[in-house]
Homo-oligomer: A and B are copies of this chain.
Amino acid sequence: MMIRAKLLPFLFCLVVVAFGTKESDLKRCKHQCKVLQQIEEYQREKCYEICEKLYHGEKQEKEEEINSYEGKEEGKNNPYVFNEEHFITGIKTEHGRIRVLPKFSERSKLLKGIENYRFAILEANPKTFVVPNHWDADAVLFVAQGRGTLSLVRKGKRNSFNIGRGDVIKVCAGTTAYLINRDDNEKLLIAKLLRPVSTPGQFEHFFGPGGRENPESFYSAFSSEILEAALNTRKDRLQRLFGQPREGVIIRASEEQIRVMSQHEEGGIWPFGGESKGSVNIYKQRPLQSNQYGQFYQGGMLGPIYSSRATKIAVVVEGEGYFEMACPHLASESESGRRQGSKETETRIGRYQKVRSKLRRGMVLVIPAGHPFVAVASTNQNLQIVGFNVNARNNEIVPLAGDFMHKNLTRWVDCHTQGRNNVMSQLEREALELGFGLPAREVEQIFRSQPEEFFFQGPGGRATA
């Protein structure tokens, strides 16, 4: 999927993590523990304990603690987390809505690197139709919920296919797209990452079908004598076609219309680098390129890790939890505020601001390259996050804790190789000593205490060494 960027040569890069069924994973997890027994008996006991917790959960609430934290730490100075209130509504009718985040760079100059990307969420009620339109932007769509049929008209051909939860579809700029929610009960929810092709950071919808307004057809913008000549049709007939107000961009469709438009094949192949002939499902398939989809079970935790070059735009698809990130940019910003006037300072380097936020369904996170972060599932709900990676070519996921290979526990299909040790365990003993100012043995012990990789039992059910 090579979308050429105005400002960023990039690759959308998504990573799939799938735990498979809980039961078989529990078995694998315990088997893994046996393998560990050569390390120490104690570790093995702990490991069993973690497996049990990970797959059967502990229901003790830690919410109060989390909430108390937020007051102190989340603060105003956090440009990386977007809630419902940050969205602007492009369209809202009784049958659905389209919500768009403002340009990222309007939030903070730290997000200037992704200012040519826009994020939108489409919600369509059961049995509705989204009127055909094209955009002056390339887009990647992720079906977060529901079942629909998407039709794309490009290069003189129409392709229609049924889409469902987990499908990822690329839509090239200028493609005429329309959509039905073919489910009787469930809303269709689609997350879109857009990259405008003509005006950086700005895109618009162009509706061919439409009338005088709501939506206006772009044909209506032409003089009537031009339309008469172009369509070779008399004014009165054109007036009937383009002169009436319409009922909106998302409208109700009849059972029969839904039935006819739904008769298409399920899914397809995701055409990286080619045309959108279909979609790829991140739950079912091994993607051709790196993808990121994380699901953490109750109390589970992802990280701490960082991406070497990619900036991640992630949306919480399901569940609750919280997120923490270390940001030196914010720290040096707030510092440069304080030390205005004094040009030299020794303290610019080596300071971080903690960025912390609760995670709820529909929230959007931006995680810049190099920034260590952690996501924790709440102790009573699984957490699902899907990430669009911008600038992902040659990206590496760098683990900052954990030590052993866990091939079966976490399938992490990515640029990065499985079973990589955390970066601290790669340092020479002398470097650890000098860096931490403690005996190397003591530092090594700490960075080797975690037998898992990437996904850990979170603090909710913690058992410390």
- Which of B238, B371, B393 sits near A4, CB closer than 8 Å? B393
In the assembled complex, the CB of A207 is this many whole angstroms from the nearest CB of chain B, namely 5
**Residue pair A346, B197 in contact (C-beta under 8 Å):** no
**Interface hub of A151, A174, A206, A303 (most chain B Cβ within 10 A):** A174
**Interface hub of A6, A172, A261 (most chain B Cβ within 10 A):** A6
**Residue pair A344, B89 in contact (C-beta under 8 Å):** yes
User: Please, how many angstroms separate the alpha-carbon atoms of A301 and B231 in the complex?
Assistant: 12
Show 11 residue pairs from A and B whose CB-CB distance is below 8 angstroms, ordered by the A residue: A129-B434, A134-B308, A136-B369, A153-B423, A176-B426, A206-B370, A219-B326, A229-B459, A231-B450, A232-B450, A253-B434
Stretch at the interface among A27-35, A186-194, A379-387, A441-449: A441-449
Nearest B-chain residue to A209, judged by Cβ: B435
**Residue pair A173, B370 in contact (C-beta under 8 Å):** yes
**A289 contacts the other chain (CB 8 A):** no
**Residue pair A427, B5 in contact (C-beta under 8 Å):** no
User: Please, how many angstroms separate the alpha-carbon atoms of A437 and B213 in the complex?
Assistant: 12
- A155-B199 CB under 8 A given contacts A308-B172, A446-B238: no
Residues of A424-465 whose CB lies within 8 A of B: 424, 426-428, 430-438, 442-443, 446-447, 449-451, 456-459, 462-465
User: Please, how many angstroms separate the alpha-carbon atoms of A456 and B424 in the complex?
Assistant: 53
- Which of B109, B174, B219 sits near A398, CB closer than 8 Å? B174
User: Please, how many angstroms separate the alpha-carbon atoms of A394 and B151 in the complex?
Assistant: 20
**Residue pair B396, A155 in contact (C-beta under 8 Å):** yes
Number of interface residues of A (CB under 8 A): 166
**Residue pair B350, A222 in contact (C-beta under 8 Å):** no
**A110 contacts the other chain (CB 8 A):** yes
User: Please, how many angstroms separate the alpha-carbon atoms of A285 and B222 in the complex?
Assistant: 34
**A343 contacts the other chain (CB 8 A):** yes
**Residue pair A304, B204 in contact (C-beta under 8 Å):** no
Contact with B along A95-126 (1 / 0, CB 8 A): 00010000000000111110000000000000
- CB neighbours of A408 from chain B (8 A): none
Residues of A208-245 whose CB lies within 8 A of B: 208-211, 213-223, 225-226, 228-235, 237-238, 240-241, 244
Given contacts A7-B7, A199-B329, 14 further A-B contacts (CB under 8 A): A6-B7, A6-B8, A65-B225, A89-B345, A91-B349, A129-B431, A134-B308, A136-B369, A153-B427, A172-B308, A209-B434, A215-B350, A222-B374, A233-B446
Nearest B-chain residue to A437, judged by Cβ: B246
- CB neighbours of A268 from chain B (8 A): none
**A24 contacts the other chain (CB 8 A):** no
**A341 contacts the other chain (CB 8 A):** no
- CB neighbours of A346 from chain B (8 A): 89, 91-93
